[in-house]
Structure 1
Amino acid sequence: MEEGGRGGVCETKSNSDWAELTHECLTNILSRLSFEDRWRGTMLVCKSWLHACKDPCFFSAFDLESQFESSVTESPLWWSPEFERKIDAMLLSVVDWSAAALKEIRVRHCSDYSLAFVAERCPNLEVLSIKSCPNVTNTSLSKIASGCPMLKELDISYCYEVSYESLEMIGRKCPNLRVFKRNLMNWIDPSQHRGVVPDEYLNACPQDGDVEAAAIGKFMPLLEQLELRFSKLSASGLGAISEGCLNLGYLDLFGCANLTSRDMANASANLKNLQKIVKPNFYIPRSVFHTERYGHWRLYDERFQTDIFRI
């Protein structure tokens, strides 16, 4: 039997067992399968196939984000301790098998435990996306900052136990950082998260938007892309970013209800390289704010970025 592959031609006797294929030939064949196919089926066939599936050549990237995104709806089970342990186990295995080759990790619902292992074993990591991790804290992020200095992209969206201290540490020790995402859940209309995200976590939305913005502006000066959806930063926080991150080409502020149209204009004027800014354009229930502070017309015009009431 002959098997053609990218690495050449693999020759075995016609009556040979597939388990007897050389390691090189097996990895050549298995490289045509997706991670999911290798993980769920191929590595369970026999010991030689399991060994081949653990080859570091398969683990320059570990991406589960596509699996989460392909789901029609978010599952409450994702927020359970059992699911977190499964994600941790997968991440630990992949990091171990990668032999320091991992450059990209995109997962959700991991914990400090597995992330500390990433920091220890992945010195060449360039992309880290760990959205929706309720048990990721400053403890593991400080280790990531020290152990993964090559980071170019970091996404800690919906990680509410991470504070501005981690942002400072990442900024200081990861000078190559170009993309940073710190999106929060929709705290203005949390109904879309009810029944999925635990209420105690949903209600723990970070309040220190300006402090985080100040850390970003001071310690991440080379950022080119920044996402802060539903952040509670105000004009002073946005000012710190626009003064410190002059290379920004993309800025996403959707849902940042404390910003006005004037704040947007001031920031845009200062950011000469800005190509796109996503403004907080959406309807916010009037009950969220104190109308006596802003006045009826100003509330709708400046706060919600609309001209409908302008005379």
Structure 2
Amino acid sequence: MEKKTEDDETESWPSRDWAELTHECLIDILARLSLVHRWRGPMLACKSWLNACKDPSLHASFDLETRFNSEAESPRWWSPEFERKVDSMLRSVVEWSDGSITRIRTRHCSNGALSFAAERCRILEVLSIKSCPNVTDVSMATIAFRCPMLKELDISYSYEISHESLALIGTNCPNLKFLKRNLMNWLDPSQHVGIVPDEYLNACPQDGDAEAAAIGKSMPHLEHLELRFSKLSAKGLISISEGCLNLKYLDLFGCANLTSRDIANASSNLKNLKEIKRPNFYIPRSVFHTERYGHWRLYDERFQTDVFRI
């Protein structure tokens, strides 16, 4: 009896043409992959796979944040070339989505791409655009007027967005409950040096109280607010505590202009507050130039003004 070899057994299996998979089968497979994996793999395989990758059912979300979080921040991300690549991806996915996108999470996009998305994604509920140096009030106004269903907004480290945008968003997006407006660590920017352009690091927004006033006046339904390293003062914090009575979570880490007393006074208005992140660090005496004014520390210790301990 003739014995089959291993090669014979291999050859006996019928050949498969993956390009002949039905569209429905392809969609089921592609739905299990992330946006980046689809972009780098199946889209390059063949025309039928590329067409399947454009199916609107796969594009209810545009999420690059997980990819950014998986890598160390690079100076390359702050280049015009990188911004153009992100813009290209965002525009493509918006077109393919047929208006079905409810979540956009990305970084380093531009005004043009964001406005393009806002015009076509009327049911957008989540928008995270951290570290976007070229996103300004222009595109944020489009978001405010075109995306009234917005529930969550993250504009951390996007310094060209002003308090005017916060007021517009708050007024036109009544369902907004989550806001993140964190700034880079301007007290110790060493972690950003060599990565973030120096001119951008030095452009840290100074109008913390104006932003706080806009939040307090126009966002009464906020439940989660992050303002890390904001330059707001006690006045700004009071504006928030009087206008955002539904707050459950408040992050004030790095807010060097606030004292413990300021926080206690303001938080007394927030009956629903469950967690608060305090500045909770010690500012070096050199920051306040207190070497020649040691008597102020004695005053602070006696009357507990907490001028030096944040």
Give the TM-score normalised by structure 2: 0.90
Q: How many pairs align?
A: 292
1:39 aligns with 2:47: no
Q: Which runs of 4+ in 1 moved over 3 A?
A: 290-294, 303-306
1:253 aligns with 2:257: no
Instruction: Give runs of aligned pairs for residues 64-75 of structure 1, distance below 5 A.
Output: 64-71=64-71, 73-75=72-74
Question: Counterpart in 1 of 2:100?
Answer: 101
Residue 162 of structure 1: how far off its partner (Å): 0.7
Instruction: Give runs of aligned pairs for residues 225-264 of structure 1, distance below 5 A.
Output: 225-264=224-263
Q: Secondary structure at the match of 2:176?
A: coil
Instruction: Give runs of aligned pairs for residues 38-57 of structure 1, distance below 5 A.
Output: 38-57=38-57
Larger Rg belongs to: 2
Query: Structure 2: which 5+ residue stretches go unaligned?
Result: 1-13
Residue 128 of structure 1: how far off its partner (Å): 0.2
Cα deviations across residues 162-214 of structure 1 (Å, max 9, x unaligned)? 11100010001000000001000001111111111101000000000001100
Instruction: Give runs of aligned pairs for residues 251-290 of structure 1, distance below 5 A.
Output: 251-290=250-289
Cα deviations across residues 262-301 of structure 1 (Å, max 9, x unaligned)? 1111122110000000000113222222535992343997
Give me the identity figure in percent: 70
C-alpha separation between the residues in 2 aligned to 1:206 and 1:113? 23
C-alpha separation between the residues in 2 aligned to 1:214 and 1:294? 35
Give the TM-score normalised by structure 1: 0.90
Question: Counterpart in 2 of 1:137?
Answer: 136
C-alpha separation between the residues in 2 aligned to 1:231 and 1:303? 17
C-alpha separation between the residues in 1 aligned to 2:67 and 2:307? 37
Residue 302 of structure 1: how far off its partner (Å): 1.0
C-alpha separation between the residues in 2 aligned to 1:277 and 1:201? 29
1:27 aligns with 2:24: no
Is the Cα–Cα contact under 8 Å of residues 280 and 305 in structure 1 kept in the other structure? no
CA RMSD after TM alignment:
1.8
Instruction: Give runs of aligned pairs for residues 4-23 of structure 1, distance below 5 A.
Output: 17-23=17-23
Residue 74 of structure 1: how far off its partner (Å): 1.1
1:302 aligns with 2:306: yes
Query: Structure 1: which 5+ residue stretches go unaligned?
Result: 1-13, 307-311
* 1:103–1:171 distance in 2 versus 1, CA, 3 Å: same
C-alpha separation between the residues in 1 aligned to 2:296 and 2:98? 60
Is the Cα–Cα contact under 8 Å of residues 281 and 304 in structure 1 kept in the other structure? no
Is the Cα–Cα contact under 8 Å of residues 105 and 129 in structure 2 kept in the other structure? yes
Is the Cα–Cα contact under 8 Å of residues 155 and 182 in structure 2 kept in the other structure? yes
Cα deviations across residues 68-90 of structure 1 (Å, max 9, x unaligned)? 1111x211111111111111111
Residue 304 of structure 1: how far off its partner (Å): 4.9
- Higher mean Cα deviation, 16-25 or 31-40? 16-25
C-alpha separation between the residues in 2 aligned to 1:294 and 1:86? 56
Q: Secondary structure at the match of 1:267?
A: helix
Question: Counterpart in 2 of 1:58?
Answer: 58
